Amino acid sequence: MKFYINLLLSVFFGLSCTFSQSPATGFVYEDVNQNQKKDKGEKGLENVAVSNGVEVVLTDKKGKYEIPAGDDNILFVIKPSGYALPVNEYNQPQFFYIHKPEGSPGLKYEGVASTGKLPRSVDFGLIPDVYRENFKMLAFGDPQPYSEEEVDFFYRGVVKEVKGINDVAFGLTLGDLVGDNLDLFNPYRDAVKEIGVPWFNVMGNHDMNYDAESDSLSDETFERHFGPANYAFNHGKVHFIVLDDILYPDPRDGMGYWGGFREDQLEFVENDLKFVPNDHLIVLAFHIPLEEGEFGDSFRDEDRDKLFALLEDYPYTLSLSAHTHIQNQYFFRREDGWRQTGEHHEYNAGTTSGDWYSGHLNEEGIPVSTMRDGTPKGYAFLTFKGNQYSVRYKAAGRPAQHQMHIYAPKVVPQNEHLTARIAVNFYMGSEKDSVIYRVDKGEWHKMHFINTYDPAYIHMVQEWDFTEELFPGKRPSNPSECSHLWTGRIFNNLDEGEHTIEVKAIDMFGQEHIATKTYRIEQRSKDD
């Protein structure tokens, strides 16, 4: 009994100390000259949300706010639409103030240095911008380099392809910025800044301080380089909520990690949504998908249910995740805990590292790194029009129209029974989509959706197993079931010669995609 009393007292005093200091105060203002200082004549902005990571308050008519500030808080402004955020030398938006008077605890990788006494006024300058309801963003999954060589693969294989892009508002990396070696945060930032647009970041399980004793301290080095792991901002008619959804250590056994949220994170979401209109699109971004993974219980069900309860009054929603190193479309319905008549869509994005920088090297010496479901490594463009969205995947190093791969024999015998089939891997696909095909501009035929392994990927892996000489690079991982595969029969009752397969896929957004492949029909000789 004494143990539990002491535990309750320690929790009570711990919470009391969290917000024991004087409240933080400051202004949100229009930074007209963009010097990140509130100058005379620069007006304060009313009704702008400011948070300490849990509470959310609005500024008054003069742009002033007041909010509790404890000994381990990051204060941040929730950018309203029609304004831009200043960026640092890495093109990282600067919307926060880290308040850690004692600094981070001693960890293997350095955290935040002591920030000292809370300033008299913690101000946030916003840059006037044109309000746009139609815009585009970039999404990266898992760069996850384990060495500087792999940072270079990431830069040359992906970043250079989008460097200088001018038609996206900002970018977002969906976690696993690096692979456990947090010293690579700086090389990662050096690479991403070259894209030239403001870039936000999500924390992943390979971005953590593994020597931290509690989940709330596992992001200390991430905070030093990127700011808060939980935050929000608005752009157009879209409200973005970024969350660290890795529970570490795993609360079940104190080992490893588990997908989920702490209560203070869910409290932040609840407080944040109080100031978001119901007709806005809510985009949640985190690393581990809400859907259970291929390797078992990967996400705490009660946390997903609590999150869905908070979204109950928002008919327009989308989740973005990565982590799996395959590409999936998940749909949550009432039987999955979703509380609305429609569905909640989660786009589980493909990764920029693909299958962890494995596979054959291309002509530039960069690993091809096709993912285990046959999806090429790449990234995604999300287009927003008001509270509506669409997604388009871009395979790195391939033309924009490359959205699927057709697997078929190169040659088949004429008029014989065939066990071989056509297989189409439509990278952004789901069972909801329509995939049809025809041969030589003939009649269209429906293809059949199937959950199985991509035969093209199996063939690629087998090359590594059957070779008698070592290939440069790393053997790809073993295949994983593909959730976007269709099959159809091969027509071999046609004339001898070359024939063209044409495949048309129409995705969930109404976007149409075309791919072609040729095969040859031969009559078997009598001597065969």
pLDDT digits (tens, 9 = 90+) for 121-140: 999 999 999 999 999 999 99
Residue 184: strand, helix, or coil: helix
The Cα 54–Cα 51 span in angstroms is: 7
Q: Phi/psi zone of residue 271: left (φ > 0), alpha (ψ -120 to 50 degrees), beta? A: alpha
Q: Is the pTM of this model over 0.75?
A: yes
The Cα 283–Cα 11 span in angstroms is: 33
Q: Which of 24, 74, 22, 70 is nearest to 53 (CA)?
A: 74
Handedness of CA 445, 448, 449, 455 (dihedral sign): negative
Same fold for the domain at 21-125 and the one at 404-522? yes
Q: Is a pLDDT exceeding 60 seen at residue 446?
A: yes
Domain positions in the chain are 21-125, 404-522
> Is 481:375 a contact under the CB 8 Å cutoff?
no
Residue 4: strand, helix, or coil: helix
Which region among 19-28, 85-94, 447-456 has the lowest average model confidence (pLDDT)?
19-28
Q: Is a pLDDT exceeding 70 seen at residue 12?
A: no
Residue 15 has what pLDDT? 42
The Cα 112–Cα 116 span in angstroms is: 11
Q: Phi/psi zone of residue 144: left (φ > 0), alpha (ψ -120 to 50 degrees), beta? A: left
**Length of the chain measured in residues:** 528
Percentage of the chain surpassing pLDDT 70?
95
Chain segment 65-107, per-residue pLDDT in tens: 999 999 999 999 999 999 999 999 999 999 999 999 999 999 9
CATH code for the structural domain at 21-125: 2.60.40.1120
| pLDDT band (50, 70, 90) for residue 21 | low
Chain segment 377-387, per-residue pLDDT in tens: 999 999 999 99
* Preceding omega of 249 cis (within 30 degrees of 0): yes
> Is 283:239 a contact under the CB 8 Å cutoff?
yes
* Domain 404-522 indexed as CATH 2.60.40.10: yes
Chain segment 181-212, per-residue pLDDT in tens: 999 999 999 999 999 999 999 999 999 999 99
Residue 345 has what pLDDT? 98
**418 Cβ partners below 8 Å, 6+ apart?**
412, 489, 490, 492
Angle made by CA atoms 400, 92, 234, in degrees to the nearest 5: 80
Mean of the pLDDT values across residues 456-483? 96
| pLDDT band (50, 70, 90) for residue 19 | very low
